[in-house]
Amino acid sequence: MRLVLVGPPGAGKGTQAEFIAAHLAVPKISTGDIFRANVVQGTPLGIEAKRYMDAGQLVPDEVTINMVRDRLAEADAADGFLLDGFPRTVPQAVALDKLLANLGAGLDLVMELVVDDDEVIRRLSGRRQCHGCQKIWHVEFDPPSRDGICDRCGGQLYQRDDDLPATIAERLRVYARDTAPLVDYYGAQGRLVGIDATGPVEDVTLRAIDALRSYGG
Ligand code: AP5
């Protein structure tokens, strides 16, 4: 299955992507994670991306599209994938359609995680991520058993630079302006399913998997 997850920052895309990708047995491809890995490694891509990420802005389409094109060409994505955080502009969506058409394939489904701005702010302000295995935690909603330490791998947890209040506000503005139009874009293609992303993580996962089943996933 070729699936895209869309939703505002903090909707739970990264959290749900882990479970959904495991359910579908496809690789999870997160453009945010790829950019962050490049930032840590200090690559030219990471240095360029960091300027935009820290300001809550999107990395330019051309840079992002080229990066995703290379990633989708890898062998593990040949039979399906879950894209988390891409596309997030209409030009990116058009580029993805063309890329897949050239491979004789198409997207099966676009799943929108629906959650309001107040919940997004609560989720992002308490988010912590593991330096080691990238697992996502929350100080209130999903705390590790030891403060600042990942239960899964023992790595150190950190707060993302773009999870500061002013940057969160800018990311929400950018989402409304540049990414929300994808809902109409994919709705018009008949590929969109929206799910309620509020409530406990496990409940959201069940809703997502139910929705996938009704589309053959
Ligand atoms: P990216 O990493 O994709 O950030 P985002 O879309 O803003 O999404 P987040 O990762 O912030 O949130 P999420 O929806 O994954 O939520 P999560 O599961 O972590 O992108 C970062 C930056 O990279 C962008 O701003 C941009 O600069 C650049 N970029 C990336 N892709 C790009 C692209 N295609 N084009 C251009 N630029 C791009 O959950 C959040 C918190 O809530 C966690 O603490 C979690 O534990 C908690 N939580 C999750 N679910 C629940 C629940 N049900 N109840 C309570 N808490 C919950």
Identify the three-state secondary structure at position 38: helix
Number of other CB atoms surrounding residue 210 within 10 Å: 10
The ligand 1 atom at the shortest distance from the C-alpha of residue 68 is: 34
Confidence of residue 182 (pLDDT cuts 50, 70, 90): very high
Ligand 1 centroid from CA 94, angstroms: 22
Q: What residues does 142 pair with on adjacent strands?
A: 138
pLDDT band at 174 (very low <50, low <70, confident <90, very high): very high
Residue 57 falls inside a structural domain: no
Residue 64 in any domain: the answer is no
What CATH number is given to the structural domain containing 131?
3.40.50.300
Active-site option among 36, 50, 88, 135: 88
The one-letter code for the residue type at 200 is P
Is position 178 within any domain? yes
- The predicted structure's pLDDT at residue 25: 96
- Whether residue 41 is contained in a domain is answered as no
Q: What range does the domain containing 127 cover?
A: 2-26+79-214
The pLDDT value recorded for residue 21 is 97
Q: Which of 4, 5, 6, 15 to mutate to test the pocket of ligand 1 (most atoms within 8 A of CB)?
A: 15
Percent pLDDT > 90 in the chain is 95
CA 174 / ligand 1 centre spacing (Å): 13
pLDDT at 117: 94
Is residue 182 within 8 A of residue 90, CB to CB? The reply is: yes
101 C-alpha to ligand 1 centroid (Å): 28
Whether residue 88 lies inside any domain: the answer is yes
Does residue 135 belong to any structural domain of this protein? yes
Q: How far from chain centre, in Å, is Cα 31? A: 7
The chain-wide mean pLDDT, for the chain, equals: 95
Model pLDDT for residues 129-159, shown as the tens digit of each residue: 999 998 999 999 999 999 999 999 999 999 9
- Predicted TM-score of the model (pTM): 0.94
* Three-class secondary structure assignment of 87-107: CCCHHHHHHHHHHHHHCCCCC
Has residue 35 been placed in a domain?
A: no
> Is residue 175 situated within a structural domain?
yes
Model confidence pLDDT, tens digit, residues 195-211: 999 999 999 999 999 99
Q: Please name which of 132, 65, 74 lies closest in space to residue 98, comparing C-alpha atoms.
A: 65
160 counts as catalytic: yes
As for how many domains the chain has, the answer is 1
How does 163-184 read in b/e, with b if 16+ C-beta sit within 10 Å?
beeebbebbbebbeebbeebbe
C-beta 17 within 6 A of ligand 1 = no
